[in-house]
Amino acid sequence: MTQSLLARHIRVALPALSLAVLLAAVFYMQPRAMSYVGLNLLLNLALPIAFATIAQMFVITINELDLSIGAYVGFVACVGATWLRDDPALGVATLAGGVLAYAAVGALIHVRNLPSIVVTLGMSFVWLGLAILVLPTPGGKAPDWLRAAMTFKTPLLPLAIWASILLALVVHVGLMRSAYGAVLRGAGGNPRSVERAGWSLLRAKVVMFALAGLFGMFAGLTLVGLTTSGDANIALRYTLLSIAGVILGGSEFTGGRVSPVGAVIGAMTLTLAGSFLSFLRLDPDWQIGAQGIILIVVLALRVLINRTEARAA
C-alpha cells in the first residue's frame, strides 16, 4: 500500500519534476538564463502555448480531440493584427463568432455522432482559409493596448510565469473544484450517469467546445501581442504542441481525467524544451523530433509508474 501511494505521488509530481529537470539543465548550460531577463527570453512564448493547451484540454476532457486549434489560433492572430486594430467592433464580433463556431462544432459532433478528429481536421482548413482571407501575407500590427499588456514588466518574475500560474489556478478551480466542473468532467468519464442524473450531454459538449474556442482566442491574442504581427501559419504547430502539453501534464485521452495545472506545466516544459535544444545548437529541422523524444521519455516513465502503482495495489 505504501509503494502504491508513493507511485501515485510520483505520477502526480512527474510534470513538475520534468520541468524542474529541464530548467536545471538550461541553467547549467547557460547560467545567465538564471535571471529575470533570461527567464523572460526562455518562456516568452509559453503563455500562448499554455492557453492553446488548456483549450485542447477542455476538448480532451469529453473524450474528443481538436485538430484545428493551431489553425484557429492563427486565424485569431490575423484578426488581432488587422480588424481588431483598425475596426475594433468588427474585430470583436469576428472573434465572438469564432467562439460560437466552436460551440456549433461541438453540437454537430454530438448530435450527428461524428468523429471529432474528422470534423476538426476539416475545420482546420476552414480556419486556415479564413486567416488567409483576412491577412493574405504576413504583416499587420498588434493593437497598442495588446502589445502594452504583453510587454508589461511584473515584479520578481516575468509576466509569462505569473499569467501561467493564474491561468492554471483559475481553470483548476473552475473545472476541478466546482459542481458544474464535476458534471463537465463526468460527461467524459461517465456520460451515462451524467445523463441519468438529468444533465444534458449536448450542453456539456457545447460548453467545452465553446471554452476551447474562448481559450484558443486568448492564445491567438497573446501570440499577436508578443510577435506584434499576424500570419496565417504562425501557430500551426500548436495543434500537436497542445496535445503533447495536455498528455505531458498527466491527463488521459479518455475518462475525463485531466489536470489543468499539469497541462500548463506541460506547455511550459515544451516551451523550455525548445530553448534547451537551441542551446545545444541542434539543427532546427531536428528540434521537433528531439521534442518528441523528450515527450516519449516522460510518457514512458509515467507508464512505468502506473504499472508499479497497479502491482502495488
Which pLDDT score is estimated for 309? Answer: 62
Which pLDDT score is estimated for 20? Answer: 87
How far is residue 245's CA from residue 259's CA, in Å, rounded to a whole number?
11
How far is residue 101's CA from residue 124's CA, in Å, rounded to a whole number?
12
User: pTM of the predicted model, to two decimals?
Assistant: 0.93
- Torsion angle (degrees, nearest 10) of CA 67, 72, 77, 80: -160
Nearest to 244 by CA among 11, 70, 32, 43: 70
Question: Which residues in 83-117 are b (16+ Cβ under 10 Å) and which e?
Answer: bbbeeeeebeebbeebbebbbebbebbbeeeeebe
Which pLDDT score is estimated for 116? Answer: 94
Distance of CA 269 to the CA centre of its chain: 12
Residue 301 or 235, more confident = 235
Which pLDDT score is estimated for 310? Answer: 63
How far is residue 182's CA from residue 191's CA, in Å, rounded to a whole number?
12
pLDDT at 284 over 70: no
Indicate if the alpha-carbon torsion angle 149, 155, 161, 163 is positive or negative.
Answer: negative
Residue 286 CB contacts under 8 Å (≥ 6 apart), including other chains: none
Give the count of domains, the chain: 1
CATH of the domain at 151: 1.10.3470
Average pLDDT, the chain: 88
**Mean pLDDT across the stretch 164-168?**
96
**Mean pLDDT across the stretch 246-272?**
87
How far is residue 205's CA from residue 4's CA, in Å, rounded to a whole number?
34
Out of 26-35, 65-74, 270-279, pick the least confident: 270-279
Q: Which domain holds residue 300?
A: 2-312
Indicate if the alpha-carbon torsion angle 121, 288, 48, 90 is positive or negative.
Answer: negative
C-alpha distances out from residue 182 to 204, 215, 261, Å: 11, 20, 16
The 10s digit of each residue's pLDDT in 130-142 is 999 999 999 999 9
